[in-house]
Structure 1
Amino acid sequence: MGDKLTIKQTQKWANKLATAQRAKNKKRVKAIHAKIKNTRLDLIHKFTTKLVKDNSLIVVGEVKSRSFTNSMTKLAKSTYDAGWFELKRQLEYKCKHAGCQFEIVNESYTTQTCSCCLKISDSSPRGRAGLRIRGWRCAECGTWHDRDMNAAKNILAVGLDRLAVGIPSVSRGEEVKD
């Protein structure tokens, strides 16, 4: 645990895209969109390949990206840029072919729950307004958390708990048979 996928390389094309759109240069706009898509796919492929190669279990949260993309806001743009669906899709098929176990778990409250004391304190980030908060200190135990790494630790713990009690893997609504 500790690797983060960064898609910032696609953001360097944002200014060029805006310029081409203002100039109404449809051919250039199409080419830039293709470059962004290909760059994102390449980064996701490299990241997922490394994850599957380095791990025997991968646990991801069930991200409902539609709830973030209902309106065209900055949050919606960053959600689309992240390519969450593609990331999960690639992890799922690569794990299947590599013999790596892949689990999807409910990620509710994973950013708010302290991964050390397992409490939701008053200092933890809440709701959409809390999405801007990238780090926080637990009021209960005093531990400093990076929001994403804390959520990753909690998601892994949920996945490990499921395996320990024998809850079957569920992927896309179907039970995986042994």
Structure 2
Amino acid sequence: MKRMSSLACHFGIKLRFYPSSKQKKIIKLNYDAQRFVYNSYVGRNRTNYHARRFLASRQCQAMPFVFSALNRYETELAETVAANNELLAKPKNIRNAYSFLRVKEIDSLALANTIQNYQKAWNNYRKIGHGIPTFHKKRSDWSYQTNCQYPKQLEAYLDNGTAKFIDDKHVKLPKLGVVRIAGFRKLIEARLLNHIPTRIGTVTIKKTADNQFYLSMQLGSDVSFVKDLPKTQSQIGIDLNLDNFLTESNGAMVANPRFYRKAKKKLAHAQRVLSRRQRRAKQEGRNLRTASNYQKQRLAVAKLHDKIRRQRADFLQALSTALIKNHDLVVAEELRSKNLLKNHALSQAISDVGWRSFLNMLAYKAQLYGKEFLTIDPKYTTQRCHACGSIMGQNGYRKLTLRDREWACPMCHTHHIRDWNAAINILEKGQKLWQNPKTKEKAA
């Protein structure tokens, strides 16, 4: 049987499911267990790091080439480092050390995935230079990962692993048993009926803050999950902005829905009520986890946040799919959201539109459906006249500001709508139809 990484096509699905009360307790137990294991790795490695630094500095203060005798505190530190190293040497050691991790309701693969995720976090830190693994605190949303295994099967299908589809309404999961799911993907139904070899890889069980349960599966197969879309011989550039969500190079505009701003007043009122109930519970000395009025209001606030998230996700998914289906080439400007959010006057509006998520959707859908998506450096795309190529802010021309939504080119006198002109420039830059102005000046 092929490994997941060696399969040609990969696909991810997300389904909502409805666990029983007993299954909810098992999910919470596995979440707590994986959080304990992750925090154990973080805490023990931090202890080892500081202990080694202390012992190294202590040795440096001694005479060179002479190992000074350790005092009682230093001996205890050295013993702690040795014990931690032994515990963290193999993934199974931590499970053997704590008996409560060996109860039958806890999935051993969930703990193995936790250790693997911790090691991946360190690898990412070494690559990009930030993002050291930190402690995971208790949250109202839970999640853990497990894997589907095929112990005796010669070929992997959707209905013969440890995680499998039973029918169009039920899925069997490790430790949880049979759970009822909402809806059924036509893609899954076709693969079950036609008995197409499909391997289930990582399975993620998640509970959101508003008490909804979701199941995410990674699928792999040598048979493509979707067919390439027919070519339309159409190419388009898009300019992302805040007045309109985007402007296309053909002149079409998509309005900015502003989901967060529309719900902001209602959300602010709900959060004030939550803050008042939190303050009252603390004054009365009650635990917030058992304060019923506080938990009811927390759930109401979480539902409002989740509604905004789902509205935004639905809008971005529909728009990105329409662009990829209708055009063979989509060109957008490369936006660095982290830098844009430093502008405190626009940070709320920028967070509300979800540009980064939208670009990611365009990227993976273009690859999935056999289309092309490019991002280009946005330099000069706003200031350049697409008709004659002159650039505002150079050769004595006044540079355009954010207030200039329409302008006329001083060279060719062409009237421009700012965002439309930028979208045309983005498309031309993606097609490599115009050069860098500095290159032009050197050539002249």
What is the TM-score normalised by the length of structure 1? 0.78
Structure number with higher helix proportion: 1
User: Which residue is 2:270 aligned to?
Assistant: 20
1:64 and 2:313 equivalent? Answer: no
1:29 to 289, 293, 301: 301
Give the direction of change, closer, same or farther, for the CA distance of 1:82–1:133 in structure 2 (3 Å limit): farther
1:51 and 2:323 equivalent? Answer: yes
* Partner SS, residue 59 of structure 1: strand
Q: Is the 8 Å Cα contact of residues 7 and 81 (structure 1) preserved in structure 2?
A: no
Deviation at 1:69, TM superposition (A): 0.6
Give the letter aligned to residue 344 of structure 2. M
Between the aligned partners of 1:154 and 1:100, the Cα distance in structure 2 is 21
Task: After superposition, give the CA deviation of every residue in 1:89-124 in whole Å (9 maximum; x if it has no partner).
Answer: 110111111111111111112111111111123355
Structure 1 stretch 110-119 or stretch 131-140: which is displaced more? Answer: 131-140
Give the direction of change, closer, same or farther, for the CA distance of 1:31–1:119 in structure 2 (3 Å limit): same
Between the aligned partners of 1:30 and 1:133, the Cα distance in structure 2 is 40
Deviation at 1:3, TM superposition (A): 3.9
Between the aligned partners of 2:407 and 2:349, the Cα distance in structure 1 is 21
Deviation at 1:79, TM superposition (A): 1.1
1:39 and 2:311 equivalent? Answer: yes
Task: After superposition, give the CA deviation of every residue in 1:50-93 in whole Å (9 maximum; x if it has no partner).
Answer: 101110001111112222211532x1111111211111111011
Structure number with higher strand proportion: 2
Between the aligned partners of 2:255 and 2:411, the Cα distance in structure 1 is 31
Describe how 1:90-169 pairs up with structure 2 within 5 A. 90-121=361-392, 122-125=397-400, 130-161=401-432
Between the aligned partners of 2:255 and 2:304, the Cα distance in structure 1 is 19
Give the direction of change, closer, same or farther, for the CA distance of 1:84–1:131 in structure 2 (3 Å limit): same
**Equivalent residues, number:** 157
Between the aligned partners of 2:301 and 2:409, the Cα distance in structure 1 is 46
Task: Give me the CA root mean square deviation.
Answer: 2.0
Q: Is the 8 Å Cα contact of residues 123 and 139 (structure 1) preserved in structure 2?
A: no
Give the direction of change, closer, same or farther, for the CA distance of 1:95–1:20 in structure 2 (3 Å limit): same
What is the TM-score normalised by the length of structure 2? 0.33
Return the index of the structure with the highest Cα Rg. 2
Q: Gapped runs of 5+ residues in structure 1?
A: 163-178
Give the direction of change, closer, same or farther, for the CA distance of 1:7–1:28 in structure 2 (3 Å limit): farther
Between the aligned partners of 1:8 and 1:160, the Cα distance in structure 2 is 30
User: Which residue is 1:174 aligned to?
Assistant: none
Q: Is the 8 Å Cα contact of residues 115 and 153 (structure 1) preserved in structure 2?
A: yes
Task: After superposition, give the CA deviation of every residue in 1:121-147 in whole Å (9 maximum; x if it has no partner).
Answer: 33552xxxx234332222222222222
Q: Gapped runs of 5+ residues in structure 2?
A: 1-249, 275-296, 434-444
Between the aligned partners of 1:116 and 1:103, the Cα distance in structure 2 is 23
Between the aligned partners of 1:152 and 1:159, the Cα distance in structure 2 is 11
1:89 and 2:339 equivalent? Answer: no
Between the aligned partners of 2:364 and 2:341, the Cα distance in structure 1 is 26
Give the letter aligned to residue 52 of structure 1. I
Between the aligned partners of 2:270 and 2:377, the Cα distance in structure 1 is 41
Q: Is the 8 Å Cα contact of residues 258 and 353 (structure 2) preserved in structure 1?
A: no
- Percent sequence identity is 34
